[in-house]
Structure 1
Amino acid sequence: MSENRFPKITEKGLEDLRKRIGVKITDTIEPWNYEATRDAIRHYAHGIGDDNPLWNDPAYAEKTKYGSLVALPSFLFTNSRIISGYCGGLSGVHAMWAGADWTWHKPVLRNDTITTEAYLKDLVEHQTKFAGRSIQQIYHVDFFNQHGDKVAEADSWVFRTDRDEARERGTKYTEARGRVEPYTEEQLAEFSKIYAAEKIRGATPRFWEDVEEGEALPRMMKGPMTVTGFICYAQGWGGLYIRANKLAWKMQQAHPGLGIKNRFNVPDCPERVHWDEDFALEVGAPGAYDYGPERCSWLTHQLTNWMGDDGFLRQSKCQIRRHNPEGDAIFIDGTVTRKYVEDGKYLVEISQKAMTSRDELSAAGTAIVELPSRG
């Protein structure tokens, strides 16, 4: 093995981290958004390519049952650094956001102020082909509006991996490197057809009685991936470590493990794996790649397009399976797996898969949508 460049996972670090389980977190960095303003909602929606007028057009939204712009469900990623992947302990050890299990209780409306409570829920050790020993770090976050109502709650997790080990192994992505080749004009034309066919259900109710088990949701496409697209998401989501000048210096003083030297010997943020291909390769990734919460948001985008304004997304669980490097195209398919009534709510369970243009599983998800009933 070549010389180690990065800090390692240690037993001492894990012992200190275990002491934090169940303890309320009080010292995290501030969220990207405190309030669900018109611009904040729109910027996040645009960051995932979602033009639903319920969160983009105030005049349209005021005519709905909400009487106001609504924040898309995944907007709450902007209200907590913890849910988005900011994790304590194991300084300098790489963290890859790998999934979330959301439950929503109430809609978030324009100008709602969101506060959160969070704690470390569990640590789970894994042996992986990608990086050998890996630690799954699971957090729980509760979200409240200005009235004290819990609007949502979620578990999310990151995998802490040894950067040097991942770079040396490279097993997960050896075949993927170099396989994203230029698309033909015919392929690009097919992608255009999928985008052109994308429909937003909107004001037309999708009634529970009209849905059948086994029914397929319209395919949704994302990509092909570009660094421009990754930056577009970061603009709406805020990023975890994107800071400039004095604020970058202050963060690195508080968290020395965050400052990883670039080619000029200048400390820079680990988040640059999303736009710096050379650094992404150093940590074992196939190249500059998308954000995990971004991909989770794509899955919920398919659901909100399908359910319409009168539907409500109750639950969504997303598991990230691999990186989506620059150039990848992603196709999201969903299937209704169950219909049922519970506590007077008319519910539909949906299974989702996101596949790459190379027919590789990118992400998998399950969701529960509440729909209006004709009864």
Structure 2
Amino acid sequence: MNQVLHRKFPKITPEGLEDLSKRIGVKIEKTVEPWCYEATRDNIRHYAHGIGDDNPLWCDPEYARGTQYGDVIALPSFLFATSRIISGYVGGLPGVHAMWSGADWTWHKPVARNTEVRTEAYLKDLVEHDTRFAGRAIQQTYHVDFYDAKSGDMLAEADSWCFRTDRDQARESGTKYTEARAREPRVYTQEELDSFYKHYEAEEIRGATPRHWEDVTEGEALPTMVKGPMTVTGFIAYAQGWGGLYIRANKLAWQLQQKHPGAGIKNRFGIPDCPERVHWDEEFALEVGAPGAYDYGPERCSWLTHQVTNWMGDDGFLAQSKCQVRRHNPEGDVILINGTVTRKFEEGGRHLVEIDQRAENQDGELSAIGSAVVALPSRKG
């Protein structure tokens, strides 16, 4: 492993926090442009494939023509690609590390093919925490509304949050990953890999077969979903569909760094490079206190919704989803997602089920927790 450089990074200061707090509740008038403006066939498919989702309702127009929608629609988590704010592009505290840590989504309508998405956003809250990862941290929460740009209809709304942490303190004093950083890299046997791959072989997309509300029971388990083993290739595959926050090349990278100097952190060649490289640059990930190059937070949230959309079928509608990221998933980890139906209820004329989700790595360490509310078709019509 390369020797980690011990440079000093900008810190959280009272002045920086005071300046940032003045933005609470103020509509953000101008943000960096999103990766996707429209839910085109290709944009939808690229996002779906970025999380390993091959549901034909998102990916196969010929199949989708036979559904109630008459064409492909966007998977719910695709909206991450239409707003940099919801995905973790934070303002204030320049140069202070931001870790995307969770989201709370509500969807109002399916996103049809070729919908142009317009967003409105504002800083919702700042809360100070004492964390195992880096000691003092600031939870920075944004609210984003998503609209059909042509009709004006609200498609969805969401809160998402990042934890702003002092990189130096995380590396030098953080205790959460002390043991993980000391471990030798995990090398899997073929037998171990096959034990995970069996979940891929058994993965079921409910599709056109309706899952009726009356046929669901409280306590019912969803099929376990596997993601991984984690590779840098997989992290980049997600970035291809999602767009990343700071990934720019050549002149565009230079322009970003001129506007936001804190976004250009020098690499081992002395070249300013983006902070997002913690997801593929092992050396830099260790510098900021992480256990190694690791997955994206919105990616993890999208995995949880993937489990639910597979289970609910074409006639279900994902109304709400919550996800809290609890640790990094470094290269080499495998994630197993389990879900359980915890409640059945009727509300506003809809037949709903609530699902609790828990994601753990191969060693049983908690990776994320989440929940979902799904509207299912009823035999009553």
Does the pair score TM above 0.5? yes
Q: Is the 8 A contact 1:136 1:160 kept in 2?
A: yes
From 56, 64, 69, the equivalent of 1:53 is 56
From 86, 95, 98, the equivalent of 1:92 is 95
Q: Which moved more, 1:163-172 or 1:359-368?
A: 163-172
Aligned residue for 1:134, secondary structure, equals strand
> How big is each residue's C-alpha offset from its partner over 1:24-65, in whole Å with a ceiling of 9 and x where there is no partner?
001210000000000000000000000000000001111100
From 227, 237, 245, the equivalent of 2:232 is 227
Q: How far did residue 66 of structure 1 move?
A: 0.6
The separation in 2 between residues aligned to 1:278 and 1:24, in whole angstroms, is 37
> 1:372 maps to what in 2?
377
The separation in 1 between residues aligned to 2:161 and 2:346, in whole angstroms, is 31
Q: How far did residue 263 of structure 1 move?
A: 0.6
> 1:320 maps to what in 2?
325
> 2:9 maps to what in 1?
6
> 1:289 maps to what in 2?
294
> 1:113 maps to what in 2?
116
The separation in 2 between residues aligned to 1:347 and 1:158, in whole angstroms, is 30
Q: How does 1:172-321 map to 2 (within 5 A)?
A: 172-177=176-181, 178=183, 180-321=185-326
> 1:140 maps to what in 2?
143
Q: How far did residue 4 of structure 1 move?
A: 5.7
Q: Which moved more, 1:161-170 or 1:313-322?
A: 161-170
Q: How far did residue 9 of structure 1 move?
A: 0.2
> 2:359 maps to what in 1?
354
Q: Which moved more, 1:316-325 or 1:185-194?
A: 185-194
Q: Does 1:164 align with 2:168?
A: yes
Q: How far did residue 179 of structure 1 move?
A: 5.4
Q: How far did residue 185 of structure 1 move?
A: 1.4
Q: Does 1:18 align with 2:21?
A: yes
Unaligned runs of 5+ in 2: none
Q: Is the 8 A contact 2:135 2:174 kept in 1?
A: no
Give the % identical residues.
Answer: 76
The separation in 2 between residues aligned to 1:21 and 1:192, in whole angstroms, is 46
The separation in 1 between residues aligned to 2:156 and 2:198, in whole angstroms, is 35
Moved over 3 A (4+): none
Q: Is the 8 A contact 2:6 2:287 kept in 1?
A: no
The separation in 2 between residues aligned to 1:303 and 1:179, in whole angstroms, is 35
> How big is each residue's C-alpha offset from its partner over 1:310-353, in whole Å with a ceiling of 9 and x where there is no partner?
00000000000000000000000000000000011000000000
- Across the aligned residues of Structure 1 and Structure 2, the Cα RMSD in angstroms comes to 1.0
Aligned residue for 1:139, secondary structure, equals strand
Q: Does 1:154 align with 2:147?
A: no
> How big is each residue's C-alpha offset from its partner over 1:145-185, in whole Å with a ceiling of 9 and x where there is no partner?
12100000000000000000001024111112225511111
> 1:31 maps to what in 2?
34
Q: Which amino acid aligns with 1:373?
A: S
Q: Is the 8 A contact 1:321 1:361 kept in 2?
A: yes
